[in-house]
Amino acid sequence: MASVRSTPRDLTSSRLFERSERSSRSELATRPWDRAPEGTPPARRGAASEAADGGPPAAYARTRTQFTATGSNAPLAADNLGGHLCVPTRDELLSALQIVRAQIPPTPTIRWPLLEQRLGSTVFIKHENHTALGAFKLRGGAVYLHELLQREPQTRGVICATRGNHGQSIARAAALHGLSATIVVPHGNSVEKNAAMRALGATLIEFGSDFQQAREHAMSLAADLGLHPVPSFHRDLVRGVASGWIEFFEQAQPDLVLVPIGQGSGICACAAARALTGAASRIVGVVSAHATAYLDSFRAGRVVEAVVSTQLADGLACRLPDEQALAIILREVDDIVAVSDDEVAEAMCIYFSDTHNVAEGAGAAPLAAALQRREAFAGRSLGLALSGGNVDRAIFARVLAQA
């Protein structure tokens, strides 16, 4: 299968992969959000500063959100993104961190020598496959349901659409709070993810041929059954998922982090955690070359639909991007790389050989992107989200057998 490669829309690759202005650090001496208020806020990285140091034209400049050092709650870049909210505030992130820490132990960030040799770089793997659900999504569900019950304590049941990990997260959090969970999946969804959601107590409904159809059905059932519809992208999901990236940036601040994009909560959470920790890492998104809606939208600067045909990266099977997520991505993300199912399969095999971790397709996509861009990334330190390991046994067996 041919791979589709993205070209940076606004930066030449030599500029994109220059070292970030702060050198990468493996440890944070102190956590910026613990520091006492002090003087002037950091300069906003935006059109003016990019243009001054020879960067892209102002119209295309990326803006990293930064928080003021004076303890102000608002991100400096919190101007309204054409009606869309920016990344969560410092207080929203810290309160979410508390909710997550009460329920979910931190996951490790590990450097694997074989993987580093293979990539020729320093590589930090954030092992979100080590959570209680085998994927990062449980962080978002924990915060979303906590906040929902604060706002609407009368809620008795929730419903959502999923390809699997979001549904597990919502089922788990619902069970914790004694709520019912109804989960809609498209026909042909992962057998083992379906089983895991049922085991968490969810009522599973199969509907439609893709995630979008499952989502529309879930929304109409919500009204009929009086259930709260949990979206796939929401500020509270981003707040929860940011906890994992805060853990990461506390330990490592590489030149680049590679983050898979499905509906966008993971990458927006990464941008929020970067702002909170003061990390300077550039963020590169990774999509499936067989589900390029976010890449196409990133290039077009507006929401663009794309057909989905990935057979391996179900977590990245997005047909219609979320407008708020796209607004944040356009602002905070330096580039998006597309990886084919063949490249993802190879990355799954390499994860297994080099680290003996099982990565599902979406979880292996950042490694696939790092391998695809090996030459462009040479000499840069990398952070890769191994965002989940929930691959069906039959699929994993096939992937390993074809290696």
Q: Which stretch binds ligand PLP (CB under 6 A): 152-160, 221-229, 243-251, 257-265?
A: 257-265
Rounded CA-CA distance 401/403 in Å is: 6
* CA 254 vs CA 32, 198, 240, 283: distances in Å: 17, 39, 22, 10
Cβ at position 336, least distance to ligand PLP in Å: 12
In whole angstroms, the minimum distance from the beta carbon of 270 to ligand PLP comes to: 10
Q: Which of 279, 370, 388, 399 binds ligand PLP (CB under 6 A)?
A: 388
C-alpha 75: how far from chain center: 20
Q: Is 263 in the site for ligand PLP (CB under 6 A)?
A: yes
- Residue 363 makes contact with ligand PLP by CB under 6 A: yes
Stretch of 89-97, 255-263, 273-281, 328-336 contacting ligand PLP, by CB under 6 A: 255-263
Residues in a beta bridge with 288? 291, 339
- How buried is residue 170: exposed, middle or buried, by Cβ count under 10 Å (0-12/13-18/19+)? buried
Please tell me the distance from the alpha carbon of residue 94 to that of residue 88, in angstroms, as a whole number: 10
Q: Residue 379 — left, alpha, or beta (φ > 0 → left; ψ -120 to 50 → alpha)?
A: left
Contact between 69 and 42 (Cβ < 8 Å): yes
Interatomic CA distance for residues 115 and 134, integer angstroms: 21
Q: How far apart are CB 256 and ligand PLP at their closest, in Å?
A: 17
Number of residues that bind ligand PLP (CB under 6 A): 19
Q: How many CB atoms lie within 10 A of CB 57?
A: 10
Say whether residue 252 binds ligand PLP (CB under 6 A): no
The stretch among 66-74, 169-177, 343-351, 357-365 that binds ligand PLP (CB under 6 A) is: 357-365
What are the counts of helices (DSSP H) followed by strands (DSSP E) for the chain?
Answer: 16, 10
| 125, 181, 362, 367: which one binds ligand PLP (CB under 6 A) | 362
Nearer to ligand PLP, 99 or 170 (CB): 170
List the alpha helices (DSSP H) in 109-137: 113-119
Judged on CB neighbours under 10 Å (0-12, 13-18, 19+), 156 is exposed
Q: Which residue stretch of 24-32, 37-45, 102-110, 261-269 sits at the interface with ligand PLP (rule: CB under 6 A)?
A: 261-269
Crossing angle of the two packed helices 341-355 and 393-401, in degrees rounded to 10: 90
Non-local (6+) Cβ contacts of 267 within 8 A are 259, 260, 261, 283, 285, 325, 328, 329, 333
Are 197 and 183 contacting, i.e. CB atoms less than 8 angstroms apart?
Answer: yes
Of 61 and 345, CB closest to ligand PLP: 345
Name which of residues 157 to 186 contact ligand PLP (CB under 6 A): 163, 165-166
Cβ proximity to ligand PLP, 56 vs 315, nearer residue: 315
* Site of tokens 């959000």: 33
Q: Is 383 among the residues that bind ligand PLP (CB under 6 A)?
A: no
- If one asks whether residue 265 binds ligand PLP (CB under 6 A), the answer comes out as yes
Under the criterion CB under 6 A, does residue 387 sit at the interface with ligand PLP? Answer: yes
Integer Cα distance of 298 and 184 in angstroms: 28
| Segment contacting ligand PLP by CB under 6 A, of 51-59, 216-224, 263-271, 273-281 | 263-271
Q: Is residue 315 involved in binding ligand PLP (CB under 6 A)?
A: yes
Beta carbon of residue 317, minimum distance to ligand PLP (angstroms, whole number):
9
The secondary element (H helix, E strand) that includes residue 341 is: helix 341-355
- Identity of the residue, 55 or 240, whose beta carbon is nearer to ligand PLP in the bound complex: 240
By CB under 6 A, name the one of 76, 87, 135, 279 that touches ligand PLP: 135
Find the part of the chain contacting ligand PLP (CB under 6 A) among 150-158, 223-231, 360-368, 392-400. Answer: 360-368
Site for ligand PLP, rule CB under 6 A: 135, 137, 163, 165-166, 260-266, 315-316, 360, 362-363, 387-388
